[in-house]
């Protein structure tokens, strides 16, 4: 049966980068992928057109889709909206929550051609290939109670860091299975020396470990993990952690690779339905100028093919095509350096499509 892909361009550079990713999807369809594409509004674009960052029509299409390709949301135009529930990012949070996208996969892979782009020494990062598995729908970002209230005459802000055993187990299983398919190493990151919720996290990871004898499980406190990521990042294969620690560590890992414009991500639920998006935001500073790097979005299409559409061979072809384009010296402004040829967003997309034909 034909698969359904929903494209949500969003705001800022979102429409430019998704347009290039759609060209790659079209090339995959020409190569045999049986998929229908539809489009919807989200974020500021949803608010402007329908008064809500996640319009009902978009949510209905998202629920019916096998996979969603999202550009990015947000921008200064909507930063002053007083009603926080109408801010663009609420569109994203709403999609994650409604589709129960609890597993966020964030690879930090450094293409050898870009080792010079990292702020770390090439020998520290060259060959880097980490997969961060972040729990996305629980933890302190969603825990109740939360709020700001007055106690004894002064204002107090509070949040709740909470995980149930079943929430930890399901993200743990995603991470163990990911480690089985990769290098066989899983590092669980917590703060079990201070936080009870992560004592439970560690216990559950240890309980699952015997079911995956081919995976070597280790544990690390989050402060040490932050240090190790910049000291010796190649020691990591798969990292699993909760929502807040994962938010922070995955951004740090992203920067090890030099350009946020290269990094894709996937958010999956238990049915392998997924939302695929670049790690970066809507980059309003460069929107509409043809400067945006579309490769993170194109590589998100590869993740979509692998994790939601069961088309690993096409995913590998896209990744090879991106490698070939980099080998040929083509670079958008964010990854350009002397000796390379700077190209626009559209030229980069076209080059990947051309390379895909023979990849």
Regarding 285 and contact with ligand NAD (CB under 6 A), the answer is yes
CA-nearest of 29, 47, 38, 90 to 68 is: 38
Question: Which residue is catalytic, options 191, 212, 237, 307?
Answer: 191
Q: How far is the CB of 36 from ligand NAD (least distance, A)?
A: 24
283 touches 300 (CB < 8 A): no
Q: How far is the CB of 285 from ligand NAD (least distance, A)?
A: 5
231 Cβ contact list (under 8 Å, min separation 6):
none
Q: Which of 96, 280, 306, 317 binds ligand NAD (CB under 6 A)?
A: 280
With respect to ligand NAD, which residue has the nearer C-beta, 73 or 103? 73
Per CB under 6 A, contacts with ligand NAD among 86-145 are: 89, 92
> Could you confirm whether 129 is annotated as catalytic?
no
Q: Which of 94, 138, 172, 261 binds ligand NAD (CB under 6 A)?
A: 261
Reading the block at residue 59, the tokens are 């949510």
160 touches 197 (CB < 8 A): no
Distance CA 127, CA 282 (A): 28
Regarding 254 and contact with ligand NAD (CB under 6 A), the answer is no
- 266 half-sphere exposure, CB direction, 13 A CA radius: 25
With respect to ligand NAD, which residue has the nearer C-beta, 240 or 292? 292
**Residue 341, exposed/middle/buried by CB under 10 A (0-12, 13-18, 19+)?**
exposed
Regarding 288 and contact with ligand NAD (CB under 6 A), the answer is no
Cα angle vertex 2, ends 103, 302, to 5°?
45
Query: Is the dihedral angle over the CA atoms 279, 285, 288, 289 positive or is it negative?
Result: negative
Regarding 73 and contact with ligand NAD (CB under 6 A), the answer is yes
With respect to ligand NAD, which residue has the nearer C-beta, 17 or 355? 17
- What three-state secondary structure class fits 216? strand
Distances (CA, A) of 105 to 61, 63, 101, 242, 264: 23, 20, 11, 12, 9
Regarding 292 and contact with ligand NAD (CB under 6 A), the answer is yes
Distances (CA, A) of 116 to 96, 104, 107, 122, 126: 35, 28, 19, 6, 9
> Could you confirm whether 141 is annotated as catalytic?
yes
Q: Which of 286, 315, 343, 351 binds ligand NAD (CB under 6 A)?
A: 286
Distance CA 276, CA 23 (A): 16
Reading the block at residue 206, the tokens are 């240890």
Compute how many residues bind ligand NAD; rule: CB under 6 A. 22
With respect to ligand NAD, which residue has the nearer C-beta, 167 or 247? 247
Name the one range near ligand NAD by CB under 6 A: 55-63, 143-151, 205-213, 277-285: 277-285
Question: Which residue is catalytic, options 212, 247, 307, 334?
Answer: 247
Q: How far is the CB of 19 from ligand NAD (least distance, A)?
A: 13
Q: Give the DSSP H/E element, type plus range, for residue 148.
A: strand 147-151
Q: Which of 281, 299, 314, 315 binds ligand NAD (CB under 6 A)?
A: 281
Q: How far is the CB of 86 from ligand NAD (least distance, A)?
A: 14
> Could you confirm whether 247 is annotated as catalytic?
yes
Regarding 260 and contact with ligand NAD (CB under 6 A), the answer is yes
Contact residues for ligand NAD (CB under 6 A)?
13, 17, 72-75, 89, 92, 260-261, 277, 280-286, 292-293, 296, 334
């Amino acid at each position: 049966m034909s698969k359904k892909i929903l494209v949500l361009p969003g705001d800022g550079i979102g429409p430019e980068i998704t347009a290039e990713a759609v060209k790659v999807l079209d090339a995959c369809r020409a190569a045999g992928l049986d998929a229908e594409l539809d489009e919807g509004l989200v974020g500021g674009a949803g608010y402007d057109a329908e008064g809500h960052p996640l319009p009902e029509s978009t949510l209905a299409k998202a629920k019916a889709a096998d996979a969603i390709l999202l550009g990015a949301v947000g921008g200064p135009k909507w930063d002053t909206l007083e009603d926080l529930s109408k801010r663009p990012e609420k569109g994203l949070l709403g999609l994650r929550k409604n589709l129960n996208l609890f597993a966020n996969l964030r690879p930090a892979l450094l293409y050898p051609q870009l080792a010079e782009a990292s702020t770390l020494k090439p020998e520290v990062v060259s060959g880097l290939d980490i997969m961060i598995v972040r729990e996305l729908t629980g933890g302190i970002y969603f825990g109740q109670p939360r709020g700001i209230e007055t106690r004894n005459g002064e204002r107090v802000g509070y949040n709740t860091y909470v995980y149930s055993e079943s929430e930890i187990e399901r993200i743990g299983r995603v991470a163990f299975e990911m480690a089985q398919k990769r290098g066989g190493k899983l590092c669980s990151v917590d703060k079990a020396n201070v936080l009870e919720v992560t004592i439970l996290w560690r216990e559950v990871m240890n309980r699952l470990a015997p079911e995956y004898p081919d995976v070597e499980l280790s544990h690390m406190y989050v402060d040490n993990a932050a240090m190790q990521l910049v000291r010796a990042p190649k020691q990591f294969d798969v990292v699993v952690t909760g929502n807040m620690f994962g938010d922070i560590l995955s951004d740090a890992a992203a920067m090890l690779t030099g350009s946020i414009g290269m990094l894709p991500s996937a958010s999956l639920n238990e049915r392998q339905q997924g939302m695929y998006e670049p790690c970066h935001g809507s980059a309003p500073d460069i929107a509409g100028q043809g400067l945006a790097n579309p490769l993170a979005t194109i590589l998100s299409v590869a993740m979509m093919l692998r994790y939601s559409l069961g088309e690993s061979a096409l995913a590998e072809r896209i990744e090879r095509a991106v490698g070939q384009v980099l080998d040929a010296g083509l670079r958008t402004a964010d990854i350009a350096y002397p000796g390379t040829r700077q190209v626009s967003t559209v030229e980069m997309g076209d080059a990947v499509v051309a390379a895909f034909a023979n990849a």
